[in-house]
Amino acid sequence: MKEIMAIVRMKKTGATKKALVAAGVAGFTAIRVLGRGKLITDPRELEACREKLLAMGLDDFSDAGDTEKLVTSFLDGSRFFPRRLFTILAHDDDVPRIIEAITRANQTEYRIGDGTIFVLPVQDAVRVRTRESGEAAIW
Amino acid sequence: MLLIRAIVRPEKKDDVLAELSGAGFNAATMVDVVGRGKQKGIKIGGMVYDEIPKILILMVIPDGDKEKVTEIILKTARTGTDGTFGDGKIFVSPVEEAYTISRNSKGL
């Protein structure tokens, strides 16, 4: 029995849910969290990301200096971004399939900030309705 | 790898996270939670407050960094010199695998 914790983009909640159903996993718990990841140190990737973000922010209303400041705070790793944390209980054999499904649904062209998946061991689970425990309580 | 779940006071959140980031543990997730501890909440007059707001910080770290991270949290999340009731708790659980979605790679 394993617990899969997947932290994904808010926008990808729907896609993740669909992918989970397609992978044969119906049950999950999802909460809103704030998160930040490890620092990206490769200057080439940072520069590419920065240019893309700056281009997005430039319009008639916003000030170039403000936009620059905001984009810098996005990339220096100190800011927390809203994310969705999915918690899924799964049988051992299903874990690779679920990870594959979540990864495929969540990858974007940005290459930064798509989230992480953690797999934790679980000792026991109990279904409240029937008092079934262990593997039978998962689904 | 280990999952650190630290429940800290909301006002100490920024100190703890800044200190962790300074020590090289930038990646973290936080959730607003409410809870009570073994003091059964706070009793003020006849009113019992047992849903005290806290911040839950989740972070996954390599096995060897456990002492370092817990020490930083213990030091920065404490109030006063000897600590006070309600300063929070740290739980450590094992993590078997970690994947980064952007790179489609295994590991932290």
What was the ipTM of the complex prediction? 0.85
pLDDT tens digits along A23-78: 888 789 999 999 998 777 777 877 887 888 777 776 767 777 777 887 877 777 77
Considering chain A, tell me which residue range(s) the CATH 3.30.70.120 domain(s) occupy: 1-36+80-139
The residues pairing with B60 across neighbouring beta strands, listed in sequence order, are B3
Chain centroid offset of residue B79 CA: 15
Domain extent, residue B50, equals 2-106
Residues of B in contact with A39 (CB under 8 A): 26
Residues of A in contact with B28 (CB under 8 A): 35-36
Residues of B in contact with A119 (CB under 8 A): 95-98
Cα(A84)–Cα(A34) distance, integer angstroms: 8
A31, A104, A119, A123: which to substitute to probe chain B, counting the most B Cβ within 10 Å? Answer: A119
Q: What is the DSSP string of A61-110?
A: SS-HHHHHHHHHHHHSS---EEEEEEEEEE-GGGHHHHHHHHHHHH--TT
Chain centroid offset of residue B69 CA: 10
Amino acid occupying residue B53: P
Global pTM value: 0.86
* CATH for B99: 3.30.70.120
Cα(A109)–Cα(A48) distance, integer angstroms: 12
Task: Give the architecture (CATH level 2) of A1-36+80-139.
Answer: 2-Layer Sandwich (3.30)
- Structural domains in chain B (count): 1
pLDDT tens digits along B78-90: 998 888 888 999 9
- How far does B82 lie from chain A, in Å, by closest CA? 30
